[in-house]
Amino acid sequence: MVPTKRRFFVAAMLFVIVVINYLDRANISIVGPQLTGDLHLDAVKMGFVFSGFGWTYALLQIPASRFVDLVHPRLLYFIVLGLWSLGTFALGFVGGFATLLALRLVVGAFEAPSYTINNRVVATWFGENERASVIGFYSSGQFVGIAFLTPLLAWIASAYGWRAVFFFTGAVGLVWAIVWFWFYRDPRDFRGVNQAEIDWIKENGGIPDLSERLARADKLVWSDVRIILGRKKLWGLYIGQFGLVSTQWFFLTWFPTYLVSYRHLNFMQSGLLASVPFFGAFVGVLSGGLLSDWMLRRGISLTIARKVPIIFGLLLSTSIIGANYASNPITVTAFFTCAFFGSGFASITWSLVSTMAPEHLIGLTGGVFNFVGNLAAIVVPVAIGFLVRGQDFTWPLIFVACTALIGAFSYLILVGNIERVAA
C-alpha cells in the first residue's frame, strides 16, 4: 500500500499559523514610526514596548510547555491562537504607553506555547528523514509572511492609519483558529490518512501515537527538571538559540524604525526595503532545511548534517556589522539581507529538540529551549534602546552580531554529537 501524504497538509497548516504568529509579533515594528509620533514615545519607551511581547512570551515558556504535554494540540492551538488574535485586534484601540505595553504582554503570553505545540505536532507526524525540511518549511512562514505582507501592511497604515494594521492581523488570526480546530487531528484520526502513512512515520523515527504516550506518562518530577537543566548538550542548544533569536528580534522590532529614523527613508520606502531581508531569510530557512536532510539522505552523519547549516548560518549573521560602514540604502539592505539569510539558514534548530530531548520530556525541553532563546525578545529591544547614541546606531548592530557569534561557539563547543539525552 502506498502511504498517503496528509502529513504535508498538516505542515501547511503550521506554515499559516507561523505566518500569523510572526505578523502579530512584527506588526508593531511596521507601524512603529507612526505610532511613536502619535503616542509621543521616545526611544527608551519604544524599546520597552518592543520588548513587552518578549517578557511574557519568554517567562511563560516553561509552564506553557506543560500545557503542551497535557492538552491536545487541536484544542490548545484553538484557544491560544484565538486569544492572542483578540489581543492583537485590541491594540488598534490603544491610547497610550501603558495600554500598549499591557496588550503586548497579553499577546506574548498567549503566543508562548506556539512553537512548542509545533514541535509536538512535528514529532507526531514526521520522521527524522523529513523533520528538518518540514521545520524549515513552516519556519519560513515567519519570514515569507512578513516579506510579502510588509508592503501591504505599510500601505494599510499609510491609507487607513496604524490602528487598521492591528485590526487586520487580529481578524486573520481569529479566522484561522477556527480552521485549525475544524481540521486538525492526530494521524490515526485524521481524515484521509492510511495505515501505510502511519507506519512510514513510525519507521522513520516519528511518534504517531505521541498523544497516547503523553497521556500515560508520569507526572513531572524534579528529577526531570534536573535532566533538562543539567545537561551540557542541552545548554548548548539553549545558548545557541539565544544567539539565533537575537538577530530575528532586531528585525522584528527596530529594523523599520532604523530605516526611517536613522537612515531617513520615507515610510513607504522603508516598507519596501524592510521586506527584502525577510525574503533573504525565507530563502535561507528553506535552503538550510533542505540541505540538512539532503546530507542525511546521502549518508552524512546526523551531527554534521544538522550542525553545519546552523553554525554556518550563525557566523553569516555577523555580517550585519557591515551596515555600519555603508551609506547607500541598497548596500545597507544587502548587508541586512545577507545577515538575515544566515539567520534563516540556521533555523533548523527545533529539529534538534525533537531529536535530543528525552522522549517523555519533549514539551518541557522545548519550553526551556524557547525560554532561553526568547530572552532575546526581552534583552535585544531594550539593549538597543539604551545603546543608541543620538543618530548613531553603530553599537546596537555590533551587539546583535556578537550574540550570533556566541550562538555559533555554543554549537561548536557544548553540543557535541547529536543524540538523544538519556533520562
Report the pLDDT value the prediction gives residue 412, as an integer from 0 to 100. 93
Mean pLDDT over each residue of the chain, to the nearest integer = 87
Report the pLDDT value the prediction gives residue 50, as an integer from 0 to 100. 80
CA distances, 19 to each of 26, 58, 216, 353 (Å): 10, 19, 33, 22
Position 208 in a domain: no
Position 242 in a domain: yes
Report the pLDDT value the prediction gives residue 35, as an integer from 0 to 100. 82
Report the pLDDT value the prediction gives residue 251, as an integer from 0 to 100. 87
Q: What are phi and psi of 389, to 5 degrees?
A: -120, 95
pLDDT more than 70, % of the chain? 96
- Model confidence pLDDT, tens digit, residues 111-132: 999 988 998 899 899 988 888 7
Which residue reads 539569510 in cell numbers?
341
- Model confidence pLDDT, tens digit, residues 226-285: 888 888 899 999 999 999 999 988 987 888 778 877 776 655 555 567 778 888 998 998
Most confident of 43-57, 179-193, 353-367, 371-385: 179-193
CA distances, 327 to each of 88, 270, 333, 361, 395 (Å): 36, 15, 10, 49, 16
DSSP 8-state class, residue 392? B
pLDDT at 397 over 80: yes
**pLDDT grade, residue 313 (50/70/90)?**
very high
- Model confidence pLDDT, tens digit, residues 26-80: 788 788 778 877 888 877 787 788 888 888 988 888 888 778 888 899 999 999 9
Instruction: Identify the domain containing residue 251 by its residue range.
Output: 7-186+224-415
Report, as an integer, the average pLDDT of 80-85: 96
Q: The domain that contains 101 carries what CATH number?
A: 1.20.1250.20
Q: Are 386 and 44 in contact (CB under 8 A)?
A: yes
Query: Which residues, 6+ apart, have CB-to-CB distance to 363 below 8 Å?
Result: 65, 66, 68, 69, 116, 119, 120, 214
Position 2 in a domain: no
Report the pLDDT value the prediction gives residue 219, as an integer from 0 to 100. 61
Lowest mean pLDDT segment, chosen from 258-262, 322-326, 398-402:
258-262
CA distances, 176 to each of 17, 75, 83, 115, 312 (Å): 8, 13, 12, 16, 35
Q: What is the dihedral of CA 162, 168, 174, 180, to 10 degrees?
A: -120
Position 218 in a domain: no
Q: Are 158 and 268 in contact (CB under 8 A)?
A: yes
Position 422 in a domain: no
Position 219 in a domain: no
Position 200 in a domain: no
pLDDT more than 90, % of the chain? 40
- Model confidence pLDDT, tens digit, residues 180-233: 999 999 999 998 999 998 998 888 888 888 788 777 665 666 677 788 888 889
Report the pLDDT value the prediction gives residue 269, as an integer from 0 to 100. 58
Position 294 in a domain: yes
Q: Report CA 36 to chain centroid distance, whole Å.
A: 25
Report, as an integer, the average pLDDT of 88-98: 91
Total domains present in the chain: 1
Q: Are 330 and 336 in contact (CB under 8 A)?
A: no
Q: What is the identity of the amino acid at 398?
A: I
**pLDDT grade, residue 13 (50/70/90)?**
very high
pTM over 0.85: no
Q: Measured in Å, how far apart are the chain's first and last C-alpha atoms?
A: 37
